[in-house]
Amino acid sequence: MLELLARADALGRGVALVLLAMSVASWVIIFWKGWLLQRAAASLPLAVAAFWQSPDLAAAPARVAAMDAAGVLGPLLQAAADTDAAPGATLATSGDRHARLTRGLRDALAVAVQRLQTGQVWLATVGATAPFVGLLGTVWGIHQALAAIGSEGSLRIELVAGPVGEALVMTAAGLAVALPAVLAYNLMGRRITRLEADLEGFAHDLRELLAPSGPTA
């Protein structure tokens, strides 16, 4: 492979470097997100249990912080605490407690979910574009082979072996970069969906605990 890249021109080497950069960045994100989601999946049930086992609301944040290794539940508790800011000072603090708490928890939930989803866009982008980047290298390699045949006026195996070999390597490289990104995106997306559902459930329970909506008219 190194020999083929050494024979490649500037475009061929550029495509190879782009694929290499995409692969390195994807694997860094995969390992980091795998670690983050594993911590979140393991610590979230413990943090939720710590909250409900707290004797009162004053003791809950410290108990939750000790269990919330991924830091995804803390923003919800902070939003609940911020609800007690002086009402009417700003539009954000206007309205009844239930409305302010709902707004704060919704914003905090968006922050927590965004943290869990960090890197998903990159993995999706790599999975969708890496095969086409490899295809560009493939097309260029075939073009070089045809150009070599045209300049020589005859078909000889040594004229096409290098460019065609480079083209095949680029095709394989594009797929090798895309497949791990696609698999990681799908697997991590499923785990993020489960965590998001757990966070939404906790946010709903917390809202009802602190500011129950009461009977409807």
Per-residue pLDDT of the chain (217 residues; tens, 9 = 90+): 555 556 667 777 888 889 999 999 999 999 999 999 999 999 999 999 999 998 888 888 889 988 988 888 888 888 888 776 555 566 666 667 778 888 889 989 999 999 899 999 999 999 999 999 988 888 877 777 677 667 665 556 666 666 677 777 888 889 999 999 999 999 999 999 999 999 999 999 988 888 765 544 3
**Residue 79 identity:** A
- Are 137 and 149 a contacting pair, CB within 8 Å? no
pLDDT at 168: 79
Q: State how far the alpha carbon of 14 is from the alpha carbons of 17, 134, 145, in Å.
A: 5, 11, 18
> What is the reported pLDDT for 119?
92
What pLDDT is stored for residue 14 in this prediction?
A: 85
pLDDT at 215: 47
Whether this prediction's pTM lies above 0.85 is answered by no
